[in-house]
Amino acid sequence: MNTSNNTAESEESFLSAFEKSLLAPVLTTEMVFGVLGNALVLVVKVVCKEHFECRYWLPLFSLTLSDFLCSVLIICGSLLAVLSAGQVSPWCEVVSLLKFTFITSSIGSLALLCVQRFIDIPSKGTRLSVVMAIACAASWATGTIFGAVPVVYDWIKYDSAEMLCAVFWESSYSDMLVYILCAFSISIFIPLLLIFSCSILTCAGYRKDSRSREDLSSITPLLVIVYLFCYAPFAASELVLLGRLDLSPSPAWLRSLSSVMAYLDCCLNPFIYLTNKDFRRAVLILMWHRRRATFPEPVLTGITRIEL
C-alpha cells in the first residue's frame, strides 16, 4: 500500500513539473496550428474546390472536420485542464465521449479514403458513393456509441496524465477486456485492416484508378504514415493496460505522450495538404482574393483638364 502511494505521489510531482515546463506551451502550439490550419483547409475545400482535383473529397472533408473539432474542443479542453488542474462534470464526460468519436472518425475516414482510391469510387455520381457516405457517417456514429458506454456506466474521471477525463477501471478486469476488445475490433482493427490491405495493393500496382497523380488523394500515403506514427503511443498505452490484471493504468509519461502525439496529428495534417501542388495554388488564390478585397484596385472616377 505504501509503495502504491509513493508511486502515485511521484507521478503527481512528475506531472506537476512537466506541465509547468512543457505541456502548456506544447498544447497551445498544437491548438493554434490545429484550429487555424484545419479551418484554412476547410475554407479552401469549400471556396476554391474548382482549382484542384479531388475525386474522393468526402473522407478528406470528414478527416479535416474531425481534426478541426478535436483542436477546438479536445485540445482546448486539455489546455484548460492543465491550467486549471482538472475538469468538472458534465464537460468531463463530454470530452471523454468526443475524444473517442474523433479517433474513430479519423481512422474511419482514412480507411474509406484508401478504399475509394484503390477501387476508384468517386464521392459523388455513383451508387457506391452513397455506400461510402453511409460508411463515413457510420464511423462517426460508432465512435459516439463506444464513447458513450463509459459515460453511461460511470467509468469516467479526470486523469492528470492524459490532461482530460478518461476511462478508469476499478471493478472488473473482464468488463475492461470486453469493452476494449469490442471497441478496438470494430472501430480500430477493421479500418486498419482496410488501410493496410488497400495501401499494399495500391503500391503493388493493382489500383484501378490510372488518373493524374495531381489529385488531392496523392497525399493519402503521407496521411496514413503520420496517423499511425502519432497514434502508436495511444495503442501502446491500451496494450499495457490490457496486460495488467490489477487494472492499474499505464505509466503517466506514456499516457501524456499518447495525448500529445494524438493532438500532433491534428495540427500536422494541414501541412500534409500543402505538399500537393494544386492545393497550394488554391491556398494562394484564396489569399490573393482576400488581399484584393482588403485593398481594392483604384478606380477612375473623374478627369480634370488642366489648361496650359
Chain segment 59-111, per-residue pLDDT in tens = 999 999 999 999 999 999 898 888 887 788 888 889 889 999 999 999 999 99
User: What's the whole-number mean pLDDT along residues 261-289?
Assistant: 89
Give the chain's domain count: 1
CATH number of the domain encompassing residue 94: 1.20.1070.10
Three-state DSSP class for residue 201:
helix
Looking at residue 1, its pLDDT comes to 40
* Helical (H) or strand (E) element with 167: strand 164-167
Provide the pLDDT for residue 47: 87
State what percent of residues in the chain have pLDDT above 90: 35
Is residue 231 in some structural domain? yes
Residue 45 lies in a domain: no
| CA-based torsion, 166, 238, 229, 217: positive or negative | negative
Average pLDDT over residues 169-193: 83
Q: Per-residue b/e over 85-120, b at no fewer than 16 CB within 10 Å?
A: eebeeeebbbbbbbbbbbbbbbbbbbbbbbbbbbee
Residue 9 placed within a domain: no
pLDDT at 295 (0 to 100): 46
78 domain residue, yes or no:
yes
Q: Three cell numbers at 303?
A: 478627369
The pLDDT assigned to 215 comes to 83
Q: Does 46 map to a domain?
A: no
State the pLDDT at residue 178.
85
Domain boundaries, position 137: 56-284
Q: C-alpha 171: how far from its chain's center?
A: 31
pLDDT given at position 39 = 95
Question: What is the model's pLDDT at position 161?
Answer: 82
Does some domain include residue 24? no
| Chain centroid offset of residue 43 CA | 18
What is the pLDDT, as a whole number, of residue 2?
A: 40
- The answer as to whether 135 is a domain residue is yes
pLDDT at 17: 60
pLDDT band, residue 230 (cuts 50/70/90): very high
Cell of 184: 478496438
Interval 252-259 mean pLDDT: 88
Classify residue 81: in a domain, yes or no.
yes
Integer Cα distance of 158 and 148 in angstroms? 16
In three-state secondary structure terms, 251 is coil
Could you give the CA distance from residue 223 to residue 103 in angstroms, rounded to a whole number? 14
